[in-house]
Structure 1
Amino acid sequence: MAADVGALYERDVEVGAIRQLLTDSKAGAGGIAVIEGAVGTGKTALLREAQRTAVTQSVGVTAARAADLESEFSFGVVRQLFEPLLAHEDTSQRANLLAGVDNPAVVMLDEVVAQHRSGDFAVLHSLFWLTANLSEKQPHCFMVDDLHYADMGSLKFLAYLVPHLDELACAVVATFTPFGSRQRMDLIDYITAAGNTRLLRLSPLGVDSAAVILRKRFARSGLEEAVTESLVKASHGATGGNPLLLTELADALCTEGVDLGKDYTARINELGPRAVARRVGLWMRTLSPQCVAVTRAVSVLGDGADLSEVSELADLTLEQTIQAVEELEHAAVLASSDSGGPHSALTFTHSLVRTVVYEAMPTIERGRAHHRAATILARTGMDTERVASHLLRTIPADDSETVVVLCRAAELALRRGAPDSAVGYLSRCLDEPPHGERRVEVLFELGRTLRLNDTAAATEYLRKALRLATSARREAEIALVLGRCLLLLGQSRGAMRVWTTALENTPESDTELIHHLQACVLSIPLYEPGREDMRLDILRLVALLRDKTPLSTLGGRLVNCVIAAHDAVIGDPRAVPRVLRALEDDQLIRDADADIALPFGWMVLISADRPEVFAHLDEAVAQAHREGSVSALTGALTYRALAWLRAGNLPEAEADARNAVHAVETVGTGLRRLILGPILADTLIERDDLSGAEQALDWVGVPDPPPEQGLMYYYLCSKARLMRQRGQVEGALQAASAAGQSFLAAGGQNPAVVPWHTESAFCLHRLGRTDEALTVAHEELRLARNWSAPRAWGHALRVAGLLEPDPAESLSLMEQALHRLRNSVARLEYAKALADYAAALRRRGKRAEARQHLDQALPLAETSDAVALQQQIVQEYKMIGARPRRFSSSGWDATTPSERRVSARAAAGMTNREIAKELFITPKTVELHLSSVYRKLGISTRRKLRENIPPEGLRDWE
């Protein structure tokens, strides 16, 4: 059964690319080579050649082979790569490798068992550090065969690692065949599309190479003369130039015997497509019953099967099993480890042979074999997930022990940061099925787990759990999660119905649970304005709770966040102290499932220009990484992007918004698009990227015309701004008016939240309707004055000044705008006010004074990277007959927030690795930030940092 496909025919280009990859990785510029090809095209042979090359270049190698049977086993491939490395190190070396590695990754590697859940991001970041430490010790190469079978956790790790490989002395070489689940192929596509990925597609062999393979195979049987040109062409056509199929076809022909000069074209066409399967089938018939039993047992247990376990599953004595293995090794079907004895590890020499053996077993027999394998492995103390991986392939049989093991495996997978594996175990558990309260628990756990990454799928299981729940408290707990999912999917009526029913059934004594439900109910008019049937009852509840003493419990804090949001929307300044009390000490971020209510607290502080919000959002982003919640990360990044935008730091705003877009696409929440898309669009408009802004709004997915109900006001206001910039003034006015109607439907009056008045005013002015424009602008000014936040107030003053026909009144309004904005966090709005005031001075002939204000405006615009404003300012310089000054981007004020976060920690004595670990970035990113800070501060060493950072810069972090 030996299939000699190890020779590398026509693969010089691929071998050269891998050699270059390994050379680059030794120099600290790693990357990944992904070998794509059909089964039998020589991917594994090329991987072996890569391993030989790595050894000759003194590059360390660890290898893994993914298997279909273990595709649900959490981080199965990662464990193959890392566990042997750690096992062979002494205590001190292990400590060095694990330096900077958080507990979640150690949990995943079975070093300890944590008592908490760990999310994807925490584990992936820790595994990155383990990789960095390993490659620092010695240049290293990870090799993974059959990536299309890899578990989701391992694929996510590779996807996380790939963008950072170019800063490590580490390479990855992997093979895959383009088939598999959509989720797996999406991740593989992401990996292959990365900028530092070498995608090596293996093409079929040519006719000349096919002739060489055929002659070699026929020569072994003394039939080399039978290899005629017509036989070669027919064989090449039948197999498509696939090396494995060519070899197996030749073996099949030689086994049947050939006559010289006979035309075998028809027979070849019949054999070719089924060559391997037929070959294995013929070969299996010649085996002893013991050999057949062993091959089937190994195919069920998977690669690395323990010889003693194979013996028990095959129902053979150990002596019979060893004798059968020796025969199978001689036939090059199986390979065993060098350890010898009853615990040798057995593996098929080719995965395709294992597949044929496995699939030839009757379905019922396979299921029974897996159940028996699970029993054997459980008795020997095997990892619970490995036992569960077999139970996944059994036939449901109403077995309570299977339910227990699968639930335990799901819990362990969650602890290890592998929610995808947990979903697989829980889904199979439902088929067994569990009964009574256990079924409710499984459904609820499955829904909660799916909610991390797939909100829509989670609702199905949460609905079922809610229908089966037998206690009021359990109903309320399920309703909280289900309602959040429904609201995030834009189904506000369903969310309202679920939450109000739970409120009616929850005992009055359970005040904390009631507060959680109330916070959710109160949020609906803010997320889904325009539904008067729900809004009036909710507003009465808001009024009832508003005057009560703010509560310090988690539920009470959530209620206060939502009440504060209602107050902020109508422009009541009392919202700010209420939110500050609710958000103090970050308890909501750490302890509450608060993704519905917590963002309202951030919105209030952003609208009030409160600098404290950045610290809250930074902590929320870090916590989302630690927990591995994509949903929480989406919310934190979205509102941090909004905070950066309102403050005028456009590069940070765009970076956070784009990361949030990626997270939204992962978790599938449509509601977040309605907030995030406009934030990204407004950021790009300021950067003069109108096409990008249009794409951002298209990504939101709002139909044309937009619906009258729902969270439309952010989208419509942003659309109005974009259309006005493009000169589509009539359409812009319609969009701005529609934004106002949507905002008013939510009770909205505060222009710090939605400045639709000024958008309408600009449009009316350009249409020649000046009186109307002034009326609308002054209405916004009145509302902004009531709220009294600097950015909104200054913005309204500036716009009113621009539209005011009386020159003296115009200057007065703009001077007031400058006064309001001068010391605020809204540096971009301040730069706009300076530029517009300079233009007004220029029109009155005060060119020197105008230049002074332009000289202040330009560096602010440059720091903000506000391209559109920079162009406006440069044009103003030309109109006063002056050239823009060259400003040096130096000093602490020229540093970005990210640079400040990094440099403050460096000044406090943290190492680059410690900084990178805490901020969820890479050491190279830390180095880049520090280099930029050194340049801006005019220093050259780390020792000079602390004395060059102002006290407030250190105090903000310490």
Structure 2
Amino acid sequence: MPPAVTEPPLQEREEHLGHLTDAALATNSDTGGKIIVLEGPAGIGKTRLLAELRDQLRLRGRRVVLARGSSLEKDFAYGVVRQLFEPMLATEAAGPCRPDLLTGAAAQAASVFRVGATAPVGDLAVLHGLYRLVVNACAEGPLAVLIDDLQHVDRPTLRLLAYLQPRLDGLPLTLILALTSGAPAPDALTEILHQPATTFLRPQPLRPRGAGAVLGAIFGTRPDDAFVTACHQSTGGNPLLLTELARGCIEQHIEPVAANADGVGGVRLPALVSRVAARLDALAPEVVAVAHAVALLSEESDLPTVAAVAGVTVETAAFAADPLVRGQLLARSTDTGRLSYPHQLLRASAYEHLGPEGRTRGHRAAAVHLASVGAEPELVAAHILRVPPTEAPDAVGHLRRAAETALGRGAPDVAHTYLGRALSEVTDAGTRAPLLDQLADVAMHTDVAAAARYGEQALALEPSAAGRATIGLRLGEARLFQGDIAGAVGAWRQARAALAEADGSPGLTGLGSALDAYLVNVTVVEPDQLHLMDEVTQQATNGSPPTVGDRALDCVLALRAAFEARPEAAALAVRGLSDGLLVRQGTGDSPLVCGWLALLAAENERAAASIDHARREVYRQGSVRAYGPVHAFAALDELWRGNLADAEREARSAVEAVERSGVRLGRPFVGPFLADILAERGDLPGARAALAWAGLPEEPPRGGPMYFYADTRARLLRRTVGGERAQAAALDAGRLFGWFGGDNPAIMPWRTEAARTLRQLGRVDEAAELALAEVDVARRWGAPRPIGRALRVAGVVLGPYDGFELLTEAVDVLAGSLARLEYAKALVDLAAAASERGQRGWARELLDTAAELAAQCDCPPLLARVDAVLATLGGRPAVQPGAAVVLTTSERRVAELAATGMSNRDIAESLFVTPKTVELHLTNTYRKLHISGRVGLAAALTARGARAAVAGPSR
């Protein structure tokens, strides 16, 4: 007698189903998106719960998509993303009002769904394109995305989920993810699970009453209580095991009565794999072969492929599938006739039953058949990965094609997997060398340590001098990102020797300049390396077009000059960045960053323009590794301008990029930048945590680019503990910078930092000497921010009478400069001095302007200082709206675009931010300009002079 039902009703899951349904229905643009993880052991009912949830949401009119991870497809590029969105994209023409989901920045994700549709693009470009695809999909209304078997989801899809997580604000998206407890968790999955915003729902085993309902549905009659108790104890209340046990009882003709309660023990098996094995062992060989074939293949396998893998005809496979479907071991799609296992546990059990040799034969047969019918390269490669090396025909060709597909889909880590396996298929040096070089190139985007290993092996096998020169350049870069400075220098020196040997070979134009650039770059990332400047041979361009190497050399020489406070630095950096060549072809590389830092220190507006250009490039065609420097130096720019909220957003994006790319060299920069930003905003615990994130010991090590770390550490110690310890830290920072040949207070103001702690210690003369010495160095450099800061600190140290003229000059220097926060600090210090001198009315005017600037900079500690000084004057600041109406950089960009009539969504896409961020910036802009909305925005921007520099108050 067959079971009474194919699938028993869902039991004891009403509360979970209601919670998930309510959560999805409550999600909208106002609430923002959410992530819920449905976690529990295999067979607890997660798959059924998601299926029921999908049906419930569809009944309520909510848009919902469901996908499932698969162990076979775990190495695919965005395999689960394709499951989710390919059906949606296939129905784009279904309604005249439906926008194309792949418009705008989402077009960058087209290659994920159309093999060979576009040239390969960077992994970040595709990742961001998929994010914009999700935004476009949510524009039609709230969307629920359900993903089953999260532990088997491919890595690129997990990266997208992690990328979406901090961008859910304002996005009407509900992500409900089912995860098997105890499954190994890759880094991207761990990132999702450990976020405070992620909530968990954990279904419990069925109670005896629920178990009795399941048994009654399957047997078609109410079971005796003793029988239910025996079955419940045997399965622990696991719904899937309970269902399989009931079917086993039916097969063995065991009635659900009390007298047979002890007989349940004979049915109980140690694992589901044994239960499935027992069922398969009782079937005909061709039926077992079909069951094995479906277990080997991906979800919903077509009959011809099943037949080819099983080694039978299509007709035989069709007949053999019937008893498997009737016995509910397999399911057949009513739409396509494809075969699949209704639960991953059943598939895994059948796969285990096949045995190691059978699995190898089956995967080899699957690879051969799929290749013969022109299946996607990644599907062929998935089977080759499960066959020992040299046993699959044309494995290298298939794997390289799969790698090309993965690169086109923006998944270099997946391409790395395919190429790494291809390497094990090759033994001759002539084939291995180019494959190793390709692997090194791909690994630079995912694993710089692996890139260095591949580069070393490729270099050892490369016969030509020209090849060794190009390989050596990248090998040095990989070692640099690892922090292996000596190894990097060695690689570049070998490359230079090979370049000399290959003199005149085609394709090497600009390589000499690039090698020089990297050697100069070492002098600003590793102390005591100034001798490398003697090895640099700057060559005349002789009228030929500039190369990337030439532009890179300009930028690193600019930073070298900036370190030494030589004024020609800015001109060199401008030349290096002038035509955008380095941005287009070297985004994320160290020389580009050198040019930015030189111009930021010089307060040259072209730095921001180049960073914006790089931001556009990196989001349109760049890599995850490259977008870390873009956000990091955008954060530094905003910090030095005084736009602290914008600076924090940029710095946190840089942290995200560094963590995902694994580039260790980014931590000594990004950690201190974020720490300084948080300290300026008054979040000292957050600042300490940011500095700790840099992963460095308490005392800065001598090796590596530790100057920003040492500088920030000194400031943080002054703000927290003060005294001799802070004083020693400031002097140590200056000593460290000196090891790099550096002495520019625009980059590292160690003298004024030491002066401030010396003043706290009562050593005023020493403090004044250091502060005035910094004034001299800052004047030689010429930028307003370091001059104004040095004058301000010197004025404070000397006091309200002897230092008054210095404080006045500081305000005059900083008025109209980019450094609004430093200007506000100078105003407060001058006001304090004016109050001491009896100029109380003027002091109040200064404080009014300072208060508004401090509020616009989002600097609570400075606002508190304004109040403290004002308290000595006997009142509160009478802030005059419009006296200093200044928009932050981000607010100005958003307002200017909104004034042209662009929608929030279009602005968000243009600036690579979320619509919610656009809304926040516009709200702040309306408040600052005293308008109620977009009407009159253009006129208000002009009338209020929001883009103009703030004028300093007169005496």
2:468 corresponds in structure 1 to 475
The 2-side partners of 1:639 and 1:135 are apart by 32
Q: Which of residues 442, 448, 451 in structure 2 aligns to 1:449?
A: 442
What TM-score, normalized by structure 2, do the two folds share?
0.92
Deviation at 1:375, TM superposition (A): 1.8
Whichever residue aligns with residue 34 of structure 1, its letter is: V
Deviation at 1:380, TM superposition (A): 1.5
The 2-side partners of 1:629 and 1:470 are apart by 31
Deviation at 1:327, TM superposition (A): 2.1
Alignment of 1:739 onto 2:740: no
1:22 corresponds in structure 2 to 24
Q: Deviations over 1:756-805 (max 9, x none)?
A: 11111122222232222222222211111111111111111111111225
1:798 corresponds in structure 2 to 792
Superposition map of 1:406-805 within 5 A? 406-433=399-426, 435-507=428-500, 508-509=503-504, 510-529=508-527, 531=528, 534-536=529-531, 538-541=532-535, 552-592=546-586, 595-804=589-798
Alignment of 1:946 onto 2:944: no
Do the aligned residues in 2 keep the contact of 1:7 with 1:45 (CA within 8 Å)?
A: no
Alignment of 1:281 onto 2:277: yes
After superposition, the Cα gap between the structure-2 partners of 1:133 and 1:844, relative to the gap in structure 1 and judged at 3 Å, is closer
After superposition, the Cα gap between the structure-2 partners of 1:441 and 1:104, relative to the gap in structure 1 and judged at 3 Å, is farther
The 2-side partners of 1:279 and 1:40 are apart by 14
Q: Which of residues 923, 927, 934 in structure 1 aligns to 2:915?
A: 923
* Matched position secondary structure for 1:36: strand
Q: Which moved more, 1:875-884 or 1:443-452?
A: 443-452
Q: Deviations over 1:169-212 (max 9, x none)?
A: 543333121344442xx433443455665421112222332344
Q: Which of residues 809, 823, 827 in structure 1 aligns to 2:820?
A: 827
The 1-side partners of 2:769 and 2:543 are apart by 40
The 1-side partners of 2:85 and 2:579 are apart by 38
The 2-side partners of 1:892 and 1:97 are apart by 43
Alignment of 1:363 onto 2:359: no
Whichever residue aligns with residue 104 of structure 1, its letter is: Q
Alignment of 1:328 onto 2:320: no
Q: Deviations over 1:737-763 (max 9, x none)?
A: 111111111111111111111111122
Whichever residue aligns with residue 62 of structure 1, its letter is: V
Deviation at 1:826, TM superposition (A): 0.7
After superposition, the Cα gap between the structure-2 partners of 1:622 and 1:457, relative to the gap in structure 1 and judged at 3 Å, is same
The 1-side partners of 2:137 and 2:161 are apart by 15
After superposition, the Cα gap between the structure-2 partners of 1:567 and 1:375, relative to the gap in structure 1 and judged at 3 Å, is same
Whichever residue aligns with residue 584 of structure 1, its letter is: S
2:103 corresponds in structure 1 to 99
Whichever residue aligns with residue 447 of structure 1, its letter is: A
1:878 corresponds in structure 2 to 871
Q: Deviations over 1:275-330 (max 9, x none)?
A: 42222111101212221111111111221211112122222222212111222221
Deviation at 1:729, TM superposition (A): 1.4
The 2-side partners of 1:477 and 1:6 are apart by 64
2:121 corresponds in structure 1 to 118
Sequence identity (%)? 38
1:932 corresponds in structure 2 to 924
Do the aligned residues in 2 keep the contact of 1:711 with 1:742 (CA within 8 Å)?
A: no
CA RMSD of aligned residues (A): 2.9
What TM-score, normalized by structure 1, do the two folds share?
0.92
Q: Which of residues 891, 894, 898 in structure 2 aligns to 1:899?
A: 891
Deviation at 1:923, TM superposition (A): 2.7
Whichever residue aligns with residue 411 of structure 1, its letter is: E
After superposition, the Cα gap between the structure-2 partners of 1:36 and 1:862, relative to the gap in structure 1 and judged at 3 Å, is same
Deviation at 1:137, TM superposition (A): 3.9
Q: Which of residues 256, 274, 295 in structure 1 aligns to 2:291?
A: 295
Q: Which of residues 126, 130, 150 in structure 2 aligns to 1:147?
A: 150
After superposition, the Cα gap between the structure-2 partners of 1:750 and 1:168, relative to the gap in structure 1 and judged at 3 Å, is closer
Deviation at 1:722, TM superposition (A): 1.3
Q: Which moved more, 1:757-766 or 1:454-463?
A: 454-463
The 2-side partners of 1:810 and 1:36 are apart by 65
* Matched position secondary structure for 1:949: helix
After superposition, the Cα gap between the structure-2 partners of 1:287 and 1:866, relative to the gap in structure 1 and judged at 3 Å, is same
Deviation at 1:915, TM superposition (A): 1.9
Do the aligned residues in 2 keep the contact of 1:399 with 1:432 (CA within 8 Å)?
A: no
Deviation at 1:403, TM superposition (A): 0.6
* Matched position secondary structure for 1:326: helix
The 1-side partners of 2:734 and 2:136 are apart by 55
The 2-side partners of 1:60 and 1:504 are apart by 62
Deviation at 1:78, TM superposition (A): 1.3
1:202 corresponds in structure 2 to 203
The 1-side partners of 2:90 and 2:884 are apart by 47
Q: Which moved more, 1:793-802 or 1:914-923?
A: 914-923
Deviation at 1:233, TM superposition (A): 4.7
Deviation at 1:927, TM superposition (A): 3.1
The 2-side partners of 1:462 and 1:120 are apart by 21
1:108 corresponds in structure 2 to 112
Do the aligned residues in 2 keep the contact of 1:4 with 1:247 (CA within 8 Å)?
A: no
Do the aligned residues in 2 keep the contact of 1:757 with 1:780 (CA within 8 Å)?
A: yes
Do the aligned residues in 2 keep the contact of 1:22 with 1:171 (CA within 8 Å)?
A: yes
Whichever residue aligns with residue 519 of structure 1, its letter is: A
Whichever residue aligns with residue 512 of structure 2, its letter is: I
Alignment of 1:311 onto 2:307: yes
Deviation at 1:653, TM superposition (A): 1.3
Q: Deviations over 1:682-726 (max 9, x none)?
A: 112211222111112211222244323332222122111111122
Do the aligned residues in 2 keep the contact of 1:104 with 1:415 (CA within 8 Å)?
A: no
After superposition, the Cα gap between the structure-2 partners of 1:593 and 1:882, relative to the gap in structure 1 and judged at 3 Å, is closer
The 2-side partners of 1:326 and 1:772 are apart by 93
Q: Which moved more, 1:592-601 or 1:45-54?
A: 592-601
Q: Deviations over 1:198-238 (max 9, x none)?
A: 42111222233234434555x45x8944x51xx65554344
The 1-side partners of 2:640 and 2:30 are apart by 40
The 1-side partners of 2:215 and 2:903 are apart by 61
Superposition map of 1:177-188 within 5 A? 177-183=180-186, 186-188=187-189
The 1-side partners of 2:230 and 2:245 are apart by 11
Q: Which moved more, 1:735-744 or 1:844-853?
A: 844-853
The 1-side partners of 2:541 and 2:834 are apart by 49
Q: Which moved more, 1:143-152 or 1:541-550?
A: 541-550
After superposition, the Cα gap between the structure-2 partners of 1:628 and 1:591, relative to the gap in structure 1 and judged at 3 Å, is closer
Deviation at 1:429, TM superposition (A): 1.5
Do the aligned residues in 1 keep the contact of 2:759 with 2:797 (CA within 8 Å)?
A: yes
Q: Which has more helix, going by share of residues?
A: 1
Do the aligned residues in 2 keep the contact of 1:34 with 1:175 (CA within 8 Å)?
A: yes
After superposition, the Cα gap between the structure-2 partners of 1:48 and 1:345, relative to the gap in structure 1 and judged at 3 Å, is same
Whichever residue aligns with residue 643 of structure 1, its letter is: D
* Matched position secondary structure for 1:845: coil
- Point out where structure 1 has 5 or more consecutive residues left out of the alignment: none
* Matched position secondary structure for 2:432: helix
The 1-side partners of 2:217 and 2:101 are apart by 47
The 2-side partners of 1:926 and 1:434 are apart by 55
Deviation at 1:661, TM superposition (A): 1.3
Whichever residue aligns with residue 112 of structure 2, its letter is: M
Do the aligned residues in 1 keep the contact of 2:11 with 2:213 (CA within 8 Å)?
A: no
Q: Deviations over 1:443-467 (max 9, x none)?
A: 2333332332333343222322222
The 1-side partners of 2:340 and 2:162 are apart by 28
Deviation at 1:863, TM superposition (A): 1.0
The 1-side partners of 2:331 and 2:393 are apart by 37
Q: Which moved more, 1:42-51 or 1:16-25?
A: 16-25
The 1-side partners of 2:632 and 2:718 are apart by 25
The 1-side partners of 2:552 and 2:307 are apart by 59
* Matched position secondary structure for 1:695: helix
Superposition map of 1:252-271 within 5 A? 252-253=248-249, 255-256=251-252
Q: Which moved more, 1:298-307 or 1:425-434?
A: 425-434
The 2-side partners of 1:92 and 1:263 are apart by 59
